[in-house]
Structure 1
Amino acid sequence: MVQVEIRKLKNGIPVLIENIENLNSATLGVFVATGSKNELPGEEGISHLLEHMMFKGTERRTSKEISEIIDNAGGMNNAYTSKEVTAYYVQMLSNKLEIGIDILNDMFLNSTFSEEALEKEKNVVIEEIKMYEDIPEEKVHEENATFALKGVQSNIVLGSMDSVKNMTREKLVAYFKERYTPSRMVVSVAGRVDVEKVMAQLNEGIGTMEEAGIVRDYNGEIVINPGENLIKRETNQIHLCFNTKGISLTDDLKYSVSIISNILGGNMSSRLFQKVREERGLAYSVYSYNSSYEEGGLFTVYAGTTKENYMEVVDLIKDEFKSIREEGITAEELQKAKNQFMSMLTFGLESSKSRMSRMASSYLVYKRVRSVDEIIAEIEAITLEDIKKAAAHIFDEKYYSYTVLGDL
């Protein structure tokens, strides 16, 4: 097993390093602990818009030059925004990693956030919002989270068309200065790297960033909202999301709940896939997932069905929740789910990007990098009683809610 080394830049930013000698590539990411949950009223979508703007030109380079330099080197430069994290990464051949680091340094230190580029990018993001509006299977998850969660975790990452239209350069720059600071940043790199060279280059770049000294005051409490949310839309299917309370990223029950999700709707042999699709033919797509955040979470089952059948699907979901809460699962189901998780962890080791992302995610949550062996040991130790305990915790009808989007 390759050892993870943790160093720090001169301004305190942790650098997580997994040096893999038998790879000819490397992926380096800069992670900022900020996202839609940190947005105040009037800032909806600012984290995501800022992510876009980081690629739109620096004091040294135009937007086109940023793209061309990475493309000409055969690399990839990308980013994403979530409710809690904004991440930027480059994936390069090992002997060209310094080119990618130079681009990231430039973006973080010298982005101009010009008025002209901002107006263009606001239109781009608005088109992105419209695109998701036209995809009901995507839209229902957004509407569902907004309804089922009360608090900052119900904030929509993209924001709204109105909030994006009204975003100003002053707001954008102030948010960048406040949130993109060393105490909220982590660098993660996996692949074949010259560690000393990487550290020196980072220290000359993002290692010079300073703290803003500003603390944002917001209420991070999550409240689970029960009830029914019906959204009428002209669609060919009825899109259903059924929810109950989930768990936080650090909850002791996190792996037990993930196993329950896998057994309910994680694959083609899962309970709900078999009962909803295979036995009754009520849906083409049916799956479950657990959205875990710092403050709490939401456990969701999705199904694409019909106006006539969606309530039958709701009843089937409730029945399976009740069955696992009262009767638990079988030893065979537990072992199958464990095998699935161990396979996913192992498959992730085959990609420098996956390794890089896993290290960063672990450090942001635990302030350390948990080894794959440690995680596997925790999963292996889960018992049938642990599953019943987790089911009793999340499958409580007072937390049940559902969102239905379609031609009702």
Structure 2
Amino acid sequence: MKIEILKLKNGIPVLIENIENLNSVALGIFVKTGAKNELPGEEGVSHLLEHMMFKGTKNKSSKEISETIDNEGGIINAYTSKEMTVYYVQLLSHKLRVGTDILTDIFLNSTFTEESLEREKNVVIEEIKMYEDIPEEKVHDENVRFAVSGSQSNIVLGSMESVKNITREKLVSYFEERYVPSKMVISVAGRVDKDEIMNLLNEGIGNLERDEFEREYDGKMSINSGENIIKRDTNQMHLCFNTKGVSTTDKIRYSVSIISNILGGNMSSRLFQKIREEKGLAYSVYSYNSSFEEGGLFTVYAGTTKENYREVIDMIKDEFEEIKKDGITEEELRKAKNQFLSMLTFGLETSKSRMNRMASSYLIYERVRDLDEIIKEIEGISLEDIKNAASKIFDEKYYSWTILGDL
């Protein structure tokens, strides 16, 4: 299926994939701004703004916004990450105008009233409290805050204090500075008529015009080392062990993803088998790479005990060193590639996932990478590539760990 890249009259790129055998469509507006772009004193503003976009416009109340989509049997939602904020709708194809009208309305006409802001700040604070009560969630935020220097360590939700201090003036200022055409991409996947959707978008979001404003943002990041202990009354010790990761565009990013899969990507992975199955030292064990434009953090998580967490740390270090020294086997490489390629294929089975893939690719590379190109790159990874990647990320000067629990 061919992907077309067009532009609205205000310059916003529109990525369109027409899928004839579907009766639905997913449309998302992707804004290249998130927690990473927040300045000191406004942590959490990206996420709070995402909430506020649904709290009323000049034309519709908050209830009317949700009811309009619900009445058509559709879905409207949004999410905020470190580097982007996304608003999307999923509808039957012939009802797409309803979705574009709603998204246009919230982008052009949101009122951000003081009353709704104070109410929503309380909602977000309750959300923060909820995560505070989930130690296996909390440890990851605290881990990044400790292991990374730079605004990439900003927590998406912010803190209770920072959210309380976000004024309407601060919220509107951030909105006007960051929600500009040059930082936006629209992605559409499903059964869609190209001319119809372009007309709808140009009639609506195509009228968005704002002055460009470059805020004083320092994009530098560095990886710290050391131990971070957070004392909590918990039954488990929640451990995150880190080393240097890779950026979203690093040449070795797929090699690092394969290493992560082999270490902690599934129930047959090395660390899961050794830490849980052979030693019984943890229930949950997995690894992941947090990637940003500027760099990344490679993390292994384990839920263990006060008596065993030091042994778990030693086992993680030993496994890092073994891959760095001896690499991996041909069988491990083939299995990891198969899983990677399966995930890519699974990610093409819904209009929403296709919408996300197109936009994410465009925001990173300013083009939509062809799937065959990605598959070829993954298939071409050798045992030597894995060993070279391991030598770059597994270095003790980048090792750090956060332990949350009753120490």
Fold-level similarity (TM above 0.5) = yes
Q: Indicate the SS of the match to 1:287.
A: strand
- Give the 5 Å matches for 1:67-82: 67-82=66-81
Letter in 1 for 2:167: T
Any conservation in 1 of the 2:11–2:181 contact (CA below 8 Å)? yes
The 1-side partners of 2:261 and 2:300 are apart by 11
The 1-side partners of 2:83 and 2:212 are apart by 20
Letter in 2 for 1:145: V
1:373 pairs with 2:351 = no
Q: Aligned-pair distance for 1:42?
A: 1.1
Unaligned runs of 5+ in 2: none
Any conservation in 1 of the 2:180–2:212 contact (CA below 8 Å)? no
Q: Deviations over 1:347-397 (max 9, x none)?
A: 111110000000000000000000111110100000000000100000001
* 2:166 counterpart residue number: 167
Q: Aligned-pair distance for 1:211?
A: 3.2
1:27 pairs with 2:26 = yes
- Give the 5 Å matches for 1:14-93: 14-93=13-92
Q: Deviations over 1:127-169 (max 9, x none)?
A: 0000000000000000000000000101111111011111110
Letter in 1 for 2:232: R
1:332 pairs with 2:331 = yes
* 1:219 counterpart residue number: 218
* 1:187 counterpart residue number: 186
- Which 4+ stretches in 1 moved above 2 angstroms? none
The 2-side partners of 1:391 and 1:219 are apart by 29
Q: Aligned-pair distance for 1:230?
A: 0.3
The 1-side partners of 2:120 and 2:184 are apart by 25
Q: What RMSD, in angstroms, separates the aligned Cα atoms of the two structures?
A: 0.6
Equivalences, count: 407
Any conservation in 2 of the 1:152–1:222 contact (CA below 8 Å)? yes
Any conservation in 2 of the 1:10–1:203 contact (CA below 8 Å)? yes
The 2-side partners of 1:371 and 1:62 are apart by 41
The 1-side partners of 2:157 and 2:220 are apart by 21
* 1:341 counterpart residue number: 340
The 2-side partners of 1:125 and 1:212 are apart by 30
TM-score between both structures, scaled by the size of structure 1: 0.99
Identity of paired residues, percent?
A: 76
- Give the 5 Å matches for 1:297-308: 297-308=296-307
Any conservation in 2 of the 1:183–1:211 contact (CA below 8 Å)? no
- Give the 5 Å matches for 1:9-408: 9-408=8-407
Unaligned runs of 5+ in 1: none
The 2-side partners of 1:231 and 1:257 are apart by 29
Letter in 2 for 1:238: M
The 1-side partners of 2:37 and 2:54 are apart by 22
Q: Aligned-pair distance for 1:171?
A: 0.6
Any conservation in 2 of the 1:27–1:353 contact (CA below 8 Å)? yes
Q: Aligned-pair distance for 1:182?
A: 0.3
The 1-side partners of 2:401 and 2:40 are apart by 26
Letter in 2 for 1:263: I
